[in-house]
C-alpha cells in the first residue's frame, strides 16, 4: 500500500505540473495544448483508479486484521508511565490471548518505549468469567527486575490492555494455572486487578 501511495502522489504532482504548463504557456500551439490536456485527463483517471484500488486494499486489510490497544512503558529522566499504542495484527485465534502475546513482544524499536514483561514469557491462555479475564502466564513472567514502579506499570499494562475489550472489567493473573501472591515482590497480585488510568499519559 505504501507503493500505491507513492505512485498516487507522483501522478498528482505530474498532473499538476502539466496543468500549470498548459495554463501558463499561452504560446503553446493548439495541437500541443490539446495533447497536454489529454495527458492531464489520463493522469486524473489514473489517480481515480488508484484511489479506488487503495480503498479496496484498505477494506481487505481491515477484514484480515484486528486493532489492539497495548500499553508500554515510557521512561523519562523524571518519571515512568504507560503510553497506549495502537497495533493492527492478523486475525488469528483468540483476540485476548493475542493481545497478551503482543504485549509480551514489546513495543516497536525506535519508538522510545520499553517493554513491560520478560520477552521469554509465554501466554498459556486467557478466559473470561463474570467480567473477569483470567490470563495464564508461564513462570518466566515472574522474572521482573524493574523495581516497584516497573512492577506497578507491568500490572497496570496487563489490566489496561485486557480491559480494552468489551466484557472485561477486571483481570486476574495466573502463573501455570495458579493464583500467585506477587509478580515481583512489591505488589499483591492474588486478587483481580482493575483498570489503572492514573499511570497513563
pLDDT per position as a tens digit, 16-50: 555 555 555 555 676 676 777 777 777 776 777 67
First CA to last CA across the chain, in angstroms? 31
- Cβ-based neighbour number of residue 140 at 10 Å: 15
Is pLDDT at 127 greater than 70 in this prediction? yes
Closest CA to 55 of 63, 44, 43: 63
Q: Are 3 and 10 in contact (CB under 8 A)?
A: no
Looking at per-residue pLDDT, the higher value among 192 and 54 belongs to 192
What pLDDT sits at residue 34?
Answer: 74
- Cβ-based neighbour number of residue 116 at 10 Å: 25
Amino acid at each position: 500500500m505504501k507503493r500505491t501511495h507513492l505512485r498516487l502522489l507522483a501522478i498528482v504532482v505530474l498532473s499538476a505540473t502539466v496543468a500549470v504548463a498548459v495554463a501558463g504557456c499561452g504560446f503553446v500551439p493548439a495541437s500541443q495544448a490539446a495533447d497536454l490536456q489529454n495527458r492531464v485527463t489520463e493522469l486524473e483517471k489514473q489517480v481515480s483508479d488508484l484511489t479506488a484500488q487503495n480503498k479496496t486494499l484498505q477494506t481487505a486489510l481491515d477484514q484480515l486484521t484486528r486493532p489492539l490497544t497495548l500499553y508500554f512503558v515510557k521512561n523519562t529522566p523524571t518519571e515512568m508511565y504507560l503510553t497506549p499504542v495502537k497495533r493492527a495484527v492478523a486475525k488469528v485465534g483468540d483476540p485476548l490471548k493475542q493481545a497478551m502475546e503482543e504485549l509480551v513482544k514489546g513495543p516497536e524499536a525506535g519508538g522510545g518505549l520499553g517493554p513491560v514483561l520478560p520477552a521469554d514469557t509465554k501466554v498459556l491462555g486467557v478466559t473470561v468469567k463474570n467480567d473477569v479475564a483470567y490470563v495464564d502466564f508461564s513462570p518466566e513472567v515472574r522474572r521482573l527486575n524493574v523495581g516497584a514502579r516497573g512492577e506497578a506499570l507491568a500490572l497496570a499494562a496487563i489490566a489496561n490492555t485486557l480491559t480494552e475489550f468489551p466484557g472485561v472489567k477486571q483481570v486476574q493473573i495466573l502463573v501455570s494455572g495458579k493464583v500467585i501472591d506477587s509478580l515481583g515482590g512489591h505488589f499483591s497480585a492474588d486478587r483481580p486487578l482493575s483498570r489503572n488510568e492514573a499511570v497513563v499519559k
